[in-house]
Amino acid sequence: MNRPFKSLLALLTAAVLPVFTPAAGAADKYVGRCDVEFAGDSTLDAFAGDITNVPLTVICTSNRADGALLNTRIEIGARQLTTHNTRRDANMYKMFQSDQFPTLFVDVTNASLAAAQLVPGQQAEPGTLPLRVTICGVTNEVRAVTLNPQPVTNGWGFELETELSLKDFKLKPPTLLFGAITVHDIVKVKARVRVQKENS
């Protein structure tokens, strides 16, 4: 093969090859719901609450450097949270300044799917999922763990657990009896998540 022909072949190969190479950043969309429970304690008694059937959309992107990455934003109405106690709920909404900040946000940005360990039977230890939580205009990075992955056709089902510090979000929980009864700082949060690939 002569040298000019070799050069022409190399040039054509370089031009055509990218067309047949999978594009970085390809994305799949997963949709579903999650149920969230929260629990805390005070100097008087424990309390718990929930919000159910929260819509959830997860975008899974991939690139050659980092593998599959998860992205989502969950929006929770402050007044959708309930402890099933009217007086306690009123105090909670006041703490969240729900008139000024009606929505709580939870963001997952470019989180490793491999680190989340969402495949049933392969989770030797809890997976990890970094969250960015915004409450009352204050945003904090929070580490969550994933547990109990369940088989879901073309999707994922799992539990997620984390802890939130009220002080980290500059929240002032209500007090009773001139401060004799106070809510403890740490609130435990647990979510049950189920999503499936759109149009699957």
**Residue 133: predicted pLDDT:** 98
Question: Consecutive 10-residue runs of the chain (200 residues): their mean pLDDT?
Answer: 39 30 65 96 82 96 83 96 93 94 97 93 87 97 96 95 96 63 86 91
pLDDT the model gives residue 25: 55
Taken in order of first residue, the domains within the chain and their CATH numbers are 22-197 (2.40.128.110)
Which of 160, 76, 80, 87 has the alpha carbon at shortest distance from 118? 160
pLDDT at 66: 67
pLDDT at 15: 32
Strand partners, 133: 106, 140
What is the pLDDT at residue 62? Answer: 87
Amino acid found at 67: G
Q: Beta-strand (E) ranges in the chain?
A: 27-41, 46-63, 67-77, 103-112, 127-135, 138-150, 155-165, 186-197
Burial class (CB in 10 A: 0-12, 13-18, 19+), 150: middle
> Tokens in use for 81?
């949270």
pTM for this predicted structure: 0.80
